[in-house]
Amino acid sequence: MKIELDEEVAAKAGVDQRQALELLAVALYKFRGIHGALAGRMLGLSELEFHQLLARLGTTVNYDLNDLADDIKQNDL
């Protein structure tokens, strides 16, 4: 999928292409429930790097009991 951002909108928002993609990844993570690894992949980042981006933006990490159970299952803990 390709998403184009109008130059006027980008200028008004004060973002470049990379910043717009970061904001989209964060919004999908926060409001549509994609996981951090997938959001990171959108940006060419690891999940840890994506979480560092969230911290820089002052955004909290979505992590609930289902995430913990998945992590335990994936890591055979």
Span 2-24, pLDDT tens digits: 888 889 999 999 999 999 999 99
Query: Is the pLDDT higher at 36 or at 68?
Result: 36
* Cα(50)–Cα(43) distance, integer angstroms: 8
Instruction: Report pLDDT for 35.
Output: 86
| C-beta separation of 28 from 1 below 8 A | no
Residue 42 pLDDT more than 60?
yes
Task: Kindly indicate the confidence band of residue 61, based on its pLDDT and cuts at 50, 70 and 90.
Answer: confident
Domain ranges within the chain, ordered by starting residue? 7-75
Residue 77 pLDDT more than 70?
no
pTM: 0.74
* Cα(13)–Cα(66) distance, integer angstroms: 35
